[in-house]
Amino acid sequence: MDSRVEEGAIYDIEEQLHTRDTSPAALQRFLLAVPPACLAALQRGEDTLAPRCCKDTMMARIVEIMEDSPPPLVLADCLNAACSLSTLQPPLQAQLLSPLLRAAVGQTVSGDWQQEPIHTQQFIRALPVDLQALLASLLAESPDTARLQLIMEHLSPWLESRLPQERARALGSTTALLGVATTLPGFENSADWPRMGHHVAQLGLFISDPSEDVSRLARKGVHSLYRLLLHHRGKEPSRDLGPRDTLRVPAAGGGDPALFPQTGPRGDASLCGPLLPPVPLHLPRDACRDPWEGKGSDLPAESPWFVSCRPQHPPGRGPVVQALL
């Protein structure tokens, strides 16, 4: 990466941490500066931004921005920035990880952005995938049952929401996270997971859901829990069982629908190199699909925040999400 790009990114980060400017332009500069700064460090073979920038301080600022209920485009940048930071050392401690999860999961799962301008809808439809990329990266940062349980504790309440779209989004994130856990090396060597039975029962309630999308996600989630149990016991399935085989659920007709339109990268092309280290994080594509996609209504004029804050470039996913998918 060009050293001038890196220096500019570090400058924008330091300026935000010093001034805490809440203007749309300042927040955008800060959030979009985090991924290239992390990328530059990884390319140099380093795993930290110290001493110039503190990971915990940067993450705390991102959490503050998310807690203020930002517009969806700013929330997407927050998720992408937090995902980039999670690739660096040291791992986040529980006292900072819990607020991050509470803000990221809560804002993404409960968001109601049907009245947003139509030109922001592709960003909004990608928000569940951005969240799933962040959760996967946080789990890869410390791949053990304690970290998985902490993340699940912030998803489980939303599975019991009264609103079906919130339950569906939480279920998609849960299924994707469990799918990632089955691919992480060394995860089977972590401690026992006493709450596994609770999560099996919770997901099992969705198997008979009238929505085929929801039912399929639930079956995949339970199947991932089954594989985690076998891996922990040092065993493998006798054959490559699918979720329907494992749960003895009759096969449903039709193939899996596509996830989201594959579009160009968000942000300047120079900032879109691979950010993640070579960890096999493979998010299940249909598990990432939001079953409530496309339930929009009449959309108003452009948001002033978008006009003043967002550069004009093709919509799509950030570099961390691209690296994960």
Determine the pLDDT at residue 9. Answer: 93
Helix axes 94-110, 55-67, angle to 10 degrees: 30
Alpha carbons within 13 angstroms on the beta-carbon side of residue 67 total 11
CA 260 to chain centroid: 15
Contacts of 320 (CB under 8 A, 6+ apart): 35, 80, 83, 84, 87, 133, 137, 275, 276
Cβ proximity of 221 and 267 under 8 Å: no
> What whole-number distance in Å separates Cα of residue 225 and Cα of residue 179?
9
Q: Which of 73-77, 125-129, 190-194, 301-305 has the lowest mean pLDDT?
A: 301-305
pLDDT digits (tens, 9 = 90+) for 53-100: 899 999 999 999 999 989 999 999 999 999 999 999 988 888 899 999
> What whole-number distance in Å separates Cα of residue 290 and Cα of residue 108?
12
189 falls in which pLDDT band (50, 70, 90)?
low
Determine the pLDDT at residue 264. Answer: 33
Q: Which long-range contacts (CB under 8 A, 24 or more apart) does 36-39 make?
A: 36/1, 36/5, 36/6, 36/9, 36/270, 36/271, 37/6, 37/9, 37/10, 37/13, 38/84, 38/85, 38/87, 38/88, 38/275, 39/1, 39/84, 39/271, 39/273, 39/274, 39/275, 39/319
pLDDT of 293 strictly over 70: no
What is the tally of helices (H) and strands (E) in the chain? Answer: 13, 0
Cβ proximity of 301 and 17 under 8 Å: no
Determine the pLDDT at residue 237. Answer: 58
> What whole-number distance in Å separates Cα of residue 318 and Cα of residue 195?
33
Determine the pLDDT at residue 319. Answer: 44
Q: For 276-300, what is the mean pLDDT?
A: 40
Return the top range by mean pLDDT from 118-122, 200-204, 259-263, 289-293: 200-204
Cβ proximity of 74 and 65 under 8 Å: yes
Domain chopping of the chain, boundaries: 3-252+261-293+300-324
Torsion of CA 83, 137, 131, 125, to 10 degrees: 90
> What whole-number distance in Å separates Cα of residue 55 and Cα of residue 38?
10
Cβ proximity of 97 and 82 under 8 Å: no
- Residue (of 278, 61, 13, 54) closest to 5 by Cα position: 13
Q: For 159-170, what is the mean pLDDT?
A: 92
Determine the pLDDT at residue 118. Answer: 78
The yes/no answer on whether domain 3-252+261-293+300-324 falls in CATH 3.30.1540 is: no
pLDDT of 128 strictly over 90: yes
pLDDT of 243 strictly over 60: no
Give the angle subtended at the CA of 203 by the CAs of 259 and 192, to the nearest 5°. 110
pTM: 0.73
Determine the pLDDT at residue 316. Answer: 42
Burial class (CB in 10 A: 0-12, 13-18, 19+), 68: exposed
Phi, psi torsion values for 305, nearest 5 degrees: -60, -45
Determine the pLDDT at residue 66. Answer: 96
pLDDT of 271 strictly over 60: no
Tokens of 61: 């600022």
